[in-house]
């Protein structure tokens, strides 16, 4: 514990959250809870999830549930109990049992799921504040569960797939472009910041942050001489940068809970076949699909999916992705049912054929976490979607480029 206590002695500071949209529902008050146990209500009218809430949760709050495997559900806190079965209207930084009446089967919520008010973020860009709700939630219980293999594997998986905030210094300001990007000119230098290893003064550690709130706990990282500059950094990039700092990384070094990754652990992670297969040189993280040729005379029914929170979240994240992808002119979303009654989303994308495979994979990355009732999504370009021509003309699209 000495290592972590010495990290925590740093004072808090505040860095402005750069995102325009609130990062959490319920008037932007943030809470997380790692599900330690679930119980089925005797009347089969819901379930109870139990764990320690960090932050404040209130009856009536909307919340997201991040589940092992990557799927996300939207739910609502019906009621709660604290202590020995004492009903409460709210709970803050304490163990609590929360009743969720819209989830009927406790098997849907596995141990180490995370209940949180922080919005999912499957589309990451420079104009949106970075969030890693599942990783942040898991990290809050690091000291309790780090010796549990199931928990530790989930934590490492989320770290490997996170997008972190990394503070840096620049000797020249980049030139801002109309689309929100920036261009670095000749002679520009980027300097990453390290922190002292708390137990070995000869070593430096590379710090990364899950969100702006965590970065805000680092006092004096920015000042008038060094105004706030940050980079969005994936874990493989952080590993490369960390080699300048003895190959060690710490996530959220100043809280809420630091997670230290020593060099030998990072080496073991990056040496696994799964990591090399996914993040090895030349791998494209958006290439997650496969091409399937449909047999002639295959009969399917296509319609507009019924309104639900699942469909709503899929549409919202399609729009977020499409806004940053210039090659997309239009997106339509339908529900396809084949002769075997298998239900599949059908996404029709108006984009150049040569960009289709990349864009299809990226859309799936943006929306796949929200699949619950329907598990699969098929893609087709607008030019090849003649069989749904009438629907394309009749129903409004999800997205049209402005």
ω before 353 within 30° of 0 (cis)?
no
pLDDT band at 139 (very low <50, low <70, confident <90, very high): very high
Q: Does the structure show a pLDDT above 80 at 3? A: no
Strand partners, 73: 65
pLDDT score of 116 more than 90 = yes
Given a cut of 90, is residue 50 above it in pLDDT?
yes
Give the pLDDT score at 281.
Answer: 62
pLDDT greater than 60 at residue 4: no
Q: List pLDDT tens digits, range 305-320.
A: 998 888 998 999 899 8
Averaged pLDDT for residues 42-67: 94
Nearest to 216 by CA among 11, 7, 36, 58: 11
Q: What is the model's pLDDT at position 166? A: 93
CA distances from 72 to 17, 54, 84, 152, 184 (A): 24, 19, 30, 20, 37
Confidence at residue 18, expressed as pLDDT on a 0 to 100 scale: 44
Does 213 have pLDDT greater than 90?
yes
Name which of 179-188, 192-201, 345-354, 359-368 the model is least confident about: 179-188
The whole-number average pLDDT for the span 101-114 is: 94
**Quick one: pLDDT at residue 338?**
83
Confidence grade of residue 181 (pLDDT, cut at 50, 70, 90): low
Average confidence (pLDDT) over 23-28:
80
What DSSP letter does each residue of 328-366 carry, written as one string?
A: --EEEEEEEEETT--EEEEEEEES-GGGHHHHHHHHHHH
Cβ atoms of 127 and 180 within 8 Å: the answer is yes
List pLDDT tens digits, range 243-300: 988 889 999 999 999 999 999 999 999 999 999 988 876 555 554 555 555 555 567 7
Spatial separation of the C-alpha atoms in residues 283 and 281, rounded to whole Å:
6
Dihedrals phi, psi of 144, to nearest 5 degrees = -80, -35
CB–CB of 82/91 below 8 Å? yes
When computed from its CA atoms, the radius of gyration of the chain, rounded to whole angstroms, is 23
pLDDT grade for 7, boundaries at 50, 70 and 90:
very low
């Amino acid at each position: 514990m000495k290592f972590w206590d010495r990290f925590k002695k740093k004072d808090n500071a505040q860095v402005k959250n750069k995102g325009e949209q609130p990062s959490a529902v319920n008037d932007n008050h943030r809470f997380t809870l790692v599900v330690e146990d679930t119980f089925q209500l005797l009347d089969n009218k819901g379930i109870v999830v139990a764990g320690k809430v960090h932050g404040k949760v209130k009856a009536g709050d909307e919340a997201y549930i991040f589940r092992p495997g990557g799927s996300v559900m939207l739910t609502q806190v019906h009621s709660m109990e604290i202590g020995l079965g004492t009903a409460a209207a709210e709970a803050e930084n304490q163990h609590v049992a929360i009743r969720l009446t819209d989830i009927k089967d406790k098997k849907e919520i596995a141990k180490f799921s995370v209940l949180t008010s922080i919005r999912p973020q499957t589309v990451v860009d420079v104009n949106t504040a970075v969030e890693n709700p599942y990783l942040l939630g898991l990290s809050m219980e690091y000291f309790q569960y780090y010796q549990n293999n199931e928990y530790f594997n989930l934590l490492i998986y989320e770290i490997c797939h996170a997008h972190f905030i990394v503070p840096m210094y620049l000797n020249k300001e980049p030139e801002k472009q109309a689309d929100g990007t920036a261009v670095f000119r000749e002679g520009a230098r980027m300097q990453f910041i390290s922190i002292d290893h708390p137990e070995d003064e000869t070593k430096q550690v590379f710090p990364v942050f899950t969100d702006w709130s965590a970065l805000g706990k680092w006092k004096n990282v920015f000042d008038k001489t060094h105004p706030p500059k940050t980079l969005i950094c994936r874990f493989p990039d952080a590993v490369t940068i960390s080699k300048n700092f003895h190959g060690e990384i710490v996530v959220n070094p100043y809280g809420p809970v630091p997670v230290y990754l020593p060099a030998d652990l990072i080496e073991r992670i990056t040496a696994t076949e799964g990591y090399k297969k996914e993040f090895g040189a030349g791998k494209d993280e958006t290439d997650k699909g496969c091409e399937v040729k449909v047999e002639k005379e295959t009969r399917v029914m296509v319609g507009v999916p019924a309104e639900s929170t699942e469909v709503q979240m899929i549409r919202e994240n399609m729009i977020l992705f499409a806004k940053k992808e210039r090659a997309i002119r239009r997106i339509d979303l339908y529900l396809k049912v084949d002769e075997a009654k298998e239900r599949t989303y059908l996404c029709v994308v108006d984009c150049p054929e040569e960009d289709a495979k990349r864009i299809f994979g990226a859309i799936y990355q943006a929306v796949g976490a929200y699949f619950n009732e329907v598990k699969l999504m098929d893609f087709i370009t607008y030019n090849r979607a003649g069989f749904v021509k009438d629907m394309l003309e009749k129903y409004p699209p999800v997205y049209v480029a402005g």
